[in-house]
A and B are shown apart, each in its own frame.
Chain A
Amino acid sequence: MRKVSAKHLQWLEKELPVLESEGVISPEVSVGIKSYYTEKTASSVHWAIIAFAILGSLLIGSGIILLFAHNWDELGRSARAVLSFCPLMIGSVLSLIALIKNGGTALRESAGIFHSLAVGASIALIGQTYHLPSDTPAFLLSWALLILPLVFLLRSTGAFLIYLGLAWGWSIAAQETYGQAAGYWLLILPAFGRLIMQIKNSRHAPDTLVSLFGLLIALCMSLGFVFERTVPGLWIVAYSALLSAAGLFGIHYYRDRDSWSNPAKTFALIGIPVLAYIFTWTYFWDDIGWGHFRLGWNYRPWGNWLDGGITLALLTGWVAAAVKAFRRNSMETILLSVFPILSISGFLLSSSGDGFETLNALIFNAFLLAFGILYIVLGCRNTKLRQLNGGMAVLSVLLVTRFFDAEFGFMAKGIVFIALGAIFLSVNLIMARKKKQMEVLP
């Protein structure tokens, strides 16, 4: 059943008699519309209720952690041991109520978030009471594994995001403590499982979109920490494949949707220019490839296999997404598909010997230029200010940076800055007017 907010229904109820009296619709049509919205739609919970429920449970959970962190010296060991169970018990009761009563989003999310934070608070207080050593990875791993079932049982996106955060934290702590964090890929597998289930059930639902965005960000942040870095520069290929695959996946599954309605594409469109901009500097192409294989006590001998495997998996994802989404008449899919090809070529060229750094930097300068121009053109064609400004921002950053590289005087630099600013303002003004003309008021 479609969900329509009470606010929109109220508006419709006021509008129908007006349309009827103006002769736009007949009384029969008016009755038909009314009965459709009464019988065939359900009122949706206002987002503010869910947001406040989430915020409330987050604040209370975090507050309990901070209260415990004060360390109540006056209380004895046994009193503190009993105290450490209290939030966990409250969280458990909340989760049971949410599950048994088949609670709505607000209840499930608050229960999931509060229960997840209570598990961490409980373990932390016991650690504090018994002065346990600073075994951060063990703490984060226990916490993450203990809340994982809540993600599935309560279908809580908040708990899912906390789980992703803990898995990410674990990857950093494990790399620091054990010298490797290969187990991260096992931790992230259930998160993939949950997301696939969500996409199958309802790909456009807000919680699916938030989960997709969260998982992509977690992957992006963890990839650099989990990599063994035994083969310098392999990250260039891995990150390019991840971003391109995400963008193409977004175009294929979410079609023409933009911004927050298409998190995968948005993630790629923010990540690709940032990465491409990094690649425009020559020193990122120095000393990379198998010729600079790293050995030592802090590098695992199997590191190249792990990094190679992850990179291969990401490249497979990229190929699969490109096969599904690639369209010859879409410059956007062409640009997204080409990005990893350029990165792979750059990596192979720099691996084969010295002297290709400038060529690689030039290639990515050209790529970024094409990227900026493409989105300016798309923005003008589709009358989308976001696309237009995004394209202009990419182009401006590229031009300003290269301009600073070259040794121009202050006057020349000043004129270029003013010119870029003037172009920005005038194009936006023209587009805003064009949009206003095209807008149809309700």
Chain B
Amino acid sequence: MKKLPTLILGAVIAAQLTVPVSMIRSRELVLKNGECFRFKTRPIDPADPFQGRYVRLGFESDHILCEKQESENLDHKQKIYATVETDSEGFAYFSGWSLSPPETGTYLETRYRNIYSARNPETEKWETKGIRIEIPFDRFYMDETKAPRAERIARDATRTTNCWAEVRILEGKAVIEDVFAEGQSLRELAAKKDKK
């Protein structure tokens, strides 16, 4: 028996097991201790060759309002920390950003995408209003048969009522708990429509 190669292989297997274990541990910590936020969504439905079918989530709040000169030195894809707050309707939005983790409040570790512009209704010109950021919870995996139906339900629901994702955030990391349409869990809704 070759002792050294076997020992090395043992160490490799241990490392291979450590990666999924640490992935599970960190996400379970977020789900257990993270603060819960509701993000308004706009879902679409693609597929991933390795991970299966999912509902891709677009979010209404994917930007941070700030002065133009504040974001001038940001590089594309640069890591930033976005502060999360809740508005009067109970939905989450990003209120500010910093290059290091803020000492107080809930924040999300993300990356800078590009400038956020909006049309000024008075001048009718596009003006820089802030920055767009990457949303690191844009996938909601579902059963391959339910995902297209869930997407349809969510799309219809978005027209008439609010559709949102419940996300838990802890120390910059975020995990989606569930997605809601017509006030019900998307999974349950897709399963119900299936039985009908």
Contact = CB atoms under 8 A, between A and B. Distances in A.
Given A119-B16, A130-B23, A131-B139, A71 B53 contact: yes
Interface string A159-183: 0000000000000000001110000
Contacts of B54: 128, 131
B12 A122 contact: no
Given A85-B20, A131-B139, A69 B50 contact: yes
Contacts of B49: 69
Contacts of A126: 20, 23-24, 27
Nearest to B26: A130
B76 A70 contact: no
**Chain A interface, DSSP helix/strand/loop, else mixed:** helix
Nearest to B15: A146
Contacts of B191: 73
Interface string B139-163: 1111110110000000000000000
Contacts of A88: 16-17, 20
A177 B142 CA distance: 25
Given A69-B50, A120-B50, A142-B19, A179 B175 contact: no
B101 to A, nearest CB: 19
Interface stretch (B1-9, B81-89, B118-126): B1-9
Contacts of B27: 126, 130, 132
Interface residues of B, number: 43
Contacts of B6: 96, 99-100
A149 B12 contact: yes
A128 B17 contact: no
B76 A179 contact: yes
Contacts of A70: 52, 143-144
A382 B142 CA distance: 61
Interface residues of A, number: 45
Given A71-B53, A130-B175, A100 B2 contact: yes
B183 interface: no
Contacts of B143: 70-73
Given A69-B52, A126-B24, A149 B139 contact: no
B138 interface: yes
A298 interface: yes
Contact of B19 (A72, A146, A150, A298): A146
A92 interface: yes
23 contacts: A68-B51, A69-B51, A69-B52, A70-B52, A71-B141, A71-B142, A71-B147, A72-B143, A81-B24, A92-B16, A99-B2, A100-B2, A121-B50, A122-B20, A126-B20, A128-B54, A131-B139, A131-B175, A132-B27, A134-B138, A134-B139, A139-B50, A179-B77
